[in-house]
Amino acid sequence: MDQTNKAKGIFHILLAAFGFAAMSLFVRLSGDLPTAEKAFFRNLIAAIVAIYMLRKSGQKLRVKKGCLPTLLLRSIAGTIGIYANFWAIGHMAIADANILNKLSPFAAIVMSIFIIGEKPNTFEIGTVITAFIGAAFIVKPGAGIASLPALVAVIGGIAAGTAYTYVRKLGLMGENKAVIVLFFSAFSCLVSMPGMITGFVPMSAKQLVCLLMAGVMASVGQLNVTAAYTYAPAKEISVFD
């Protein structure tokens, strides 16, 4: 593949990893709020950022012909990933939750075989496995790793990896990056809204700031992961996550 695009993909996946890690921290700092409430604010900020990007570029909000089904599948998988990840963060050590969420590169590689037809070689699979094992040793998962929250975190990682595969497919189809982010963010906001309204918990000023910062950092992660998988396939860049 084009080495320039691969380099861009690596750069953006590193920024995305930073953004999502910071997002997890702010979600944890927001305290004991309903998952739907956290998810709504996370996606609201990302949607606003995507709208701003579209307006600044002078482009219209228009879904490319043939992309709507893939956008819906990406949004469904991504929303499941968010809910699972946020719930796990609130019920287990943040390092444990995040390392289990990092199963997403494995899922992205596997799903890329079936959804896009991009097959990794033995070396590429080996590097991702090695990276995950190394990260697991660093965070030293605790006893909570064998629990319901851990299972939910794993589901979140698999759903996120599936969503990234659909992002890659949309990029190959020529869909606008900002449209991909906006469609997903708006979809997740709509899904979160009923639960947020019915179970709304008033927030302190600190909690509001934490959720807004979670949204900002999620935007950094979302825009960069979208760019990363647009530039390069999962088998080439997922190890850097």
pLDDT of 209-222, one tens digit each?
999 999 999 999 99
- Report d(CA 151, CA 127) in Å as an integer: 24
- Report d(CA 207, CA 211) in Å as an integer: 6
Supply the range of the domain harboring residue 144: 3-240
> Has this prediction a pTM greater than 0.95?
no
pLDDT of 45-79, one tens digit each?
999 999 998 888 887 788 999 999 999 999 999 99
Structure confidence at residue 142 as a pLDDT band (50, 70, 90): low
H or E, element range at 152: helix 148-172
* Overall domain count for the chain: 1
What residue has token string 């609201």?
44
Which tokens belong to 7?
Answer: 């380099």
Q: What angle do CA 205, 210, 214 make, to 5 degrees?
A: 150
Average pLDDT, the chain: 89
